């Protein structure tokens, strides 16, 4: 596991629960501060987390309180990425992304070193999540790649180091990273109704491949940072994908996933033209993650 809350708390230090909470709450009710500060062995309530995320967006923050709650916030965000609906934190996560985007937390409360530790935890959590992937067949609306793709897209709108995340992922050091690469590329390589990894969308069950430019929350009129777009344009091409999928294929150990990956490799030559077209279009789609359009064929 790459992400470590201990590493975060060694950098973002806290003196403990503030003796006096002076921060004004967005909803005029400060009770969520005390509940979040006195969790004990309990998991935080989603409404308390959401209330604090609103505070982060719209209110002046008490640095000591934020530093104390940082592990709580990051752990809840990680649980949502790994557990999805069962964690029950989707509403908080949507507001958390908004808070990091619109609020001043990362730039006015944390120091540069603290911000780096915070971002590193998020980046490494995404890599951990990719490492947990073990399937190349999904049906319906609950496919795990939907969450990590949306998280990756959201990450690229806030932070400028997608190159670090991507480079680590595409070294294909683990089976999970290899499977995640096949999941991602399948959405570029095939028409939606012909994707061998994701069964077609239906009215009753949902489904279909992940939308590679869809973010986690309501991020309007914003897209990936220029550094990230420039990196993607530079690194992603058909030959690169072919080389990396061969590397990924060698890492896959799950027999069922290996069979599907083998079929994708066999299809590669015939899908090169469509893959190249989608690769060319992807950076433009990532320039506005709120758009509802898609690939033009």
Full DSSP string of 214-231: --SS--TT----HHHHHH
Please identify, among 79, 100, 122, the residue that sits at the C-terminal boundary of a domain. 122
Question: Is 149 a member of any domain?
Answer: yes
The whole-number pLDDT of residue 102 equals: 87
Q: What is the pLDDT of residues 222-279, one digit of tens each?
A: 999 999 999 999 999 999 999 999 999 999 999 999 999 999 999 999 999 999 999 9
Six token digits for residue 273: 């033209």
Q: Which domain holds residue 11?
A: 1-122
In a domain, 264, yes or no: yes
Strand, coil or helix: what is 136?
Answer: coil
Together in a domain, 68 and 195: no
Last residue of a domain, one of 122, 151, 175: 122
Q: Greater confidence, 292 or 177?
A: 177
Q: Is residue 297 in some structural domain?
A: no
- Residue 71 within a domain: yes
Residue 234: inside a domain: yes
* Percent of the chain at pLDDT exceeding 70: 99
Classify residue 64: in a domain, yes or no: yes
Cβ proximity of 72 and 39 under 8 Å = yes
Q: Read off the pLDDT band of 17 (50, 70, 90).
A: very high
Question: In the listed set 101, 122, 143, which residue is the last one of a domain according to the structure?
Answer: 122
DSSP sequence for 78-122: HHHHHHGGGTT-HHHHHHHHHHHHHSSIIIIIS-HHHHHHHHHHH
**Pair (99, 188) in one structural domain:** no
Same domain, 116 and 173: no
Question: Is residue 94 a part of any domain in this protein?
Answer: yes
Q: What is the pLDDT of residues 109-144, one digit of tens each?
A: 999 999 999 999 999 999 999 999 999 999 999 899
Say if residue 145 is in the same domain as residue 172: yes
* 128: in domain: no
Percentage of the chain beyond pLDDT 90 is: 91
What's the mean per-residue pLDDT of the chain?
A: 95
| pLDDT tens by residue, 144-198 | 999 999 999 999 999 999 999 999 999 999 999 999 999 999 999 999 999 999 9
Q: How many domains does the chain have?
A: 2
Q: pTM for this one?
A: 0.97
CA torsion through residues 43, 75, 106, 57, sign:
negative
Residue 296: pLDDT above 80?
A: no
Residues 241 and 203 in one domain: yes
Q: Is 195 helix (H, G, I), strand (E, B) or coil?
A: coil
Q: Do 151 and 94 lie in a common domain?
A: no
Instruction: Report residue 297's pLDDT band, with 50, 70 and 90 as the boundaries.
Output: low
Three-class SS of residue 198? Answer: strand
Query: Is 114 within 8 Å of 14 (Cβ atoms)?
Result: no
Q: How does DSSP classify residue 199?
A: P
110 plus 164 within the same structural domain: no
Residues 77 and 148 in one domain: no
Above 90 in pLDDT, residue 76? yes
């Amino acid at each position: 596991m790459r992400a470590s809350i201990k590493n975060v708390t060694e950098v973002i230090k806290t003196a403990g629960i503030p003796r006096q909470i002076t921060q004004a709450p967005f909803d005029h009710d400060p009770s969520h501060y005390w509940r979040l500060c006195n969790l004990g062995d309990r998991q935080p309530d989603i409404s308390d987390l959401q209330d604090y995320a609103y505070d982060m967006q719209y209110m002046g923050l008490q640095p000591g309180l934020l530093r104390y709650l940082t592990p709580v916030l990051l752990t809840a965000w990680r649980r949502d990425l790994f557990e999805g609906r069962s964690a029950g934190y989707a509403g908080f996560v949507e507001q958390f992304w908004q808070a990091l985007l619109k609020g001043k937390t990362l730039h006015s409360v944390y120091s540069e070193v603290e911000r780096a530790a915070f971002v590193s935890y998020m980046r490494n959590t995404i890599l951990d999540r990719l490492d947990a992937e073990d399937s190349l067949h999904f049906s319906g609306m609950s496919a795990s790649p939907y969450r990590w793709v949306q998280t990756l897209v959201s990450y690229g709108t806030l932070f400028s180091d997608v190159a670090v995340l991507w480079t680590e992922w595409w070294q294909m050091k683990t089976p999970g990273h290899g499977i995640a690469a096949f999941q991602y590329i399948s959405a570029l390589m095939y028409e939606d109704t012909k994707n061998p990894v994701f069964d077609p969308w239906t009215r009753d069950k949902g489904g279909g491949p992940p939308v590679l430019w869809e973010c986690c929350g309501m991020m309007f009129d914003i897209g990936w940072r220029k550094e990230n777009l420039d990196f993607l344009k530079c690194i992603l091409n058909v030959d690169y994908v072919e080389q990396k999928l061969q590397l990924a294929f060698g890492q896959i150990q799950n027999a069922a996933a290996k069979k599907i990956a083998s079929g994708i490799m066999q299809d590669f030559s015939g899908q090169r033209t469509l893959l190249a077209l989608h690769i060319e279009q992807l950076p433009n789609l990532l320039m506005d993650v709120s758009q509802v359009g898609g690939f033009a064929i």
